[in-house]
Structure 1
């Protein structure tokens, strides 16, 4: 084609933008066929653009396979794709994964409804609650035997006894101690680990100058004394109380401190005083956790409140129906009534078991899939850490469990006292669900932020290529 023909061709291209797809033009002795290019309309919908591009490629027999992939081995291609998925944090969960997560929550929900049910007091307890009570009683009894035997053995004078005589005395003490019952060992632990904040209120308050804590009585003194909390909160306040000689209580929603007449063996000397106070707190918690000797409810006993449960006594607000007589109470009154009717650390532990069920199912499934299906090494397959997909499965399980739990509590409370609803709800499950929801929300926010940063990097590189015209 000569220069005249080329110029004529450009003139024809610019002459009519609405020309047919195929048009023929003759210039001198040559015949030129022009084809109008197809145009894909600009759109904000990525999937629309993608589908139109694929349709165009199919009509024109264009291979969209990346030619550079043919230069790499299958192993290298897979490795690159895995690295890209890891960098962008693309979810690898499928429908089966979500179904298993939901199924694990449903199984745990059935375990909770059938074997935990409504928390009770006295002899009216569910199978898992009764089993948990027995485990705590066994632990307390073993500790009572241990401390009782140790204290008696330490009193033996080994210098005045022969080896055989000393061994015989030890065996005699162990046999005697093991014959003691649970209540006897509880009373021994109470005397062995005395704390100054152990008061039941009323005429036996033992506060200095005859003071009393308003509202404190035999049934709730474990809830109004911060040192009786079996968690970190109780440990901190117990140490402070024992070292300062004052006790910390909650009175009408306020935290107060008062001197007591109780015996306290801690002398408050620096590090040793702190260690002795912590040891004393632990021993006293053991004496109360399975039902203290002076606060029996039925044949179960009034134990210790669940960790941080005492803080609800500061919530002197709300109007919550408690019984069928349309009696309403504050959050503090509701939680106090729940404690008196059996909701203590042992009941809280019983409710933890169904949560452990679905956690174990999900984490075992995760390990086996990562190790045997994806072929990862054991250290990379461990079901711990903040992996987004693992946390999504745990969230789905927690959501399905809580849905069944709330439904079960609602049905169980139908026609019964309103307190039944609150005694049936699985609080560890609700706490875990809330924690998982916050964790997944935080993960999604971080993921979106990372994708935006990734898009910004791609856009910056694209702008550089357009401006410089080079790679």
Structure 2
């Protein structure tokens, strides 16, 4: 039974072969088919529950509280570069990981004396032709490069796919590409001593990729000169802001004009980078966002765990059922709680960023201060939640239409099943049609005819049409 009801006649089929007689009835078949269809329809109605969140007031309150708490953590412990307690922790973490990476490539030297010595080793080990800093070279005059901005302006220093492309291009062609003042410029024969290692193209590709990764790691914690001076140094740009370089580079390669908006966004990204907004600070921003996500999932799981133990008898408990009820990943309820939590986090964070921007600007809006304090990771996570909510709302709308139609079909199928049950009682084939067995015995014709007559009367066959004796049957099949 699908979305259309088809008329099905009730018939009885008697088959005779050498081994005996066979009988089948459409009532039993129709009943079994209708019951199977009822199971499918019920599953369709139940499927809508997987798309609809089941949050109560306490769920919403706890999710909002988590978002507000993590927003406060972001304000006081992340803040902006140079004033970030969590940023100091991530800076130290990246410095330690850089030293670990250096030890990996220099196993004979078990320990480096300092970050400076590790950076010196990595810079010598992973040389590239595009590392102009503007300190006494052509970069200062041509590209307006200096020690603070060359990691951002140099496209090969960007941790992105386009950065990898330009790194390979620069290494193969001994060149250096930069974005400055909204233009893509290149320096040919950037390093007279440069030669990419490798005897063939595949080996050169491997060496080029290794150089790119190794050089990025050597720059992520700053330069050896900044480490020597005890400064934080300039790391590599945040992957979430290098797109401003990518747009200008792509438009330049395609011959498209760069708009003033493109230039303004690129200048803004450069300004925040020069103030310390790099990959290390971006990781510090991710900490309260990750904590918010973790707290909400933990709250959801703990509440459902208490509910499971209070509602489920001890004899019926199992780990599989408990996990099905408590798992905080794939159900719409916890996803709705995450949307509320991350939305609250963004409200707190943006409110603080706007306020600090006006304070820093002396009454006017300071865009750089706003962006420095805006948690882009949190905004991105909230955007993902909103996308999921929109997608689930569309799916729910479609599923609800199907479920409503299935509910109507269930009513029809239930009525149909009740009718089949009435017919099965009225036409008691199992009892009245046992004459088939009697036909197998030559000395039981009389009793068999009696049962066939009773069956015909029960089915309202006219009296003049009922075959009541063997002679009537013989005349019927003889054509008399």
Which TM-score band applies after superposition, normalised by the shorter structure? 0.5 to 0.7
Cα 1:118–1:251 change in 2 (3 A) is: closer
5+ residue gaps, structure 1: 1-79, 154-172, 321-328
Tell me what 1:354 maps to. 288
User: How far off its partner does 1:236 sit?
Assistant: 4.5
User: How far off its partner does 1:87 sit?
Assistant: 3.7
Q: 2:211 aligns with which of 246, 266, 280?
A: 280
Tell me what 2:462 maps to. none
Tell me what 2:198 maps to. 267
User: How far off its partner does 1:379 sit?
Assistant: 6.7
Asked if the contact 2:130/2:190 (under 8 Å) is kept, the reply is: no
User: How far off its partner does 1:295 sit?
Assistant: 6.4
Distance between the aligned counterparts of 2:204 and 2:78, measured in 1?
Answer: 41
Cα 1:88–1:259 change in 2 (3 A) is: same
Tell me what 1:198 maps to. 131
1:393 and 2:332 correspond:
no
Q: 1:113 aligns with which of 64, 75, 82?
A: 75
Asked if the contact 1:242/1:268 (under 8 Å) is kept, the reply is: no
Which structure has more relative contact order (CA 8 Å, sep 6+)? It is: 2
- Mapping of 1:11-410 within 5 angstroms? 85-89=46-50, 90-120=52-82, 125-147=83-105, 149-150=106-107, 153=108, 173-174=109-110, 177-178=111-112, 180-201=113-134, 204-205=137-138, 214-243=143-172, 245-255=174-184, 258-262=187-191, 263-267=194-198, 269-293=200-224, 299-313=231-245, 314=247, 330-374=264-308, 376-378=321-323, 381-385=326-330, 387-410=331-354
| Deviations 1:262-285, CA, capped at 9 Å, x for gaps | 324333734443333332222111
Equivalent pairs counted in the alignment come to: 350
Cα 1:384–1:243 change in 2 (3 A) is: farther
Cα 1:334–1:451 change in 2 (3 A) is: same
* TM, length-normalised to structure 2: 0.64
Distance between the aligned counterparts of 1:362 and 1:196, measured in 2?
Answer: 48
Distance between the aligned counterparts of 1:401 and 1:186, measured in 2?
Answer: 37
Distance between the aligned counterparts of 1:255 and 1:392, measured in 2?
Answer: 44
Cα 1:462–1:83 change in 2 (3 A) is: closer
Q: Secondary structure at the match of 1:398?
A: helix
Distance between the aligned counterparts of 2:236 and 2:154, measured in 1?
Answer: 10
Cα 1:270–1:422 change in 2 (3 A) is: same
Distance between the aligned counterparts of 2:376 and 2:383, measured in 1?
Answer: 11
Tell me what 1:66 maps to. none
| Deviations 1:354-384, CA, capped at 9 Å, x for gaps | 1011111012223334455347343774433
Tell me what 1:38 maps to. none
Tell me what 1:37 maps to. none
* TM, length-normalised to structure 1: 0.65
Cα 1:465–1:319 change in 2 (3 A) is: same
Find the structure with the greater CA-based Rg: 2
Q: RMSD of aligned C-alpha atoms? A: 3.6
| Deviations 1:384-424, CA, capped at 9 Å, x for gaps | 34x32222111111100000001111222333131322211
Cα 1:446–1:239 change in 2 (3 A) is: farther
User: How far off its partner does 1:349 sit?
Assistant: 0.8
Distance between the aligned counterparts of 2:324 and 2:341, measured in 1?
Answer: 24
Distance between the aligned counterparts of 1:371 and 1:267, measured in 2?
Answer: 58
Q: Secondary structure at the match of 1:414?
A: helix
User: How far off its partner does 1:243 sit?
Assistant: 4.3
Distance between the aligned counterparts of 1:239 and 1:381, measured in 2?
Answer: 48
Cα 1:381–1:464 change in 2 (3 A) is: closer
5+ residue gaps, structure 2: 1-40, 249-257, 310-320, 421-480
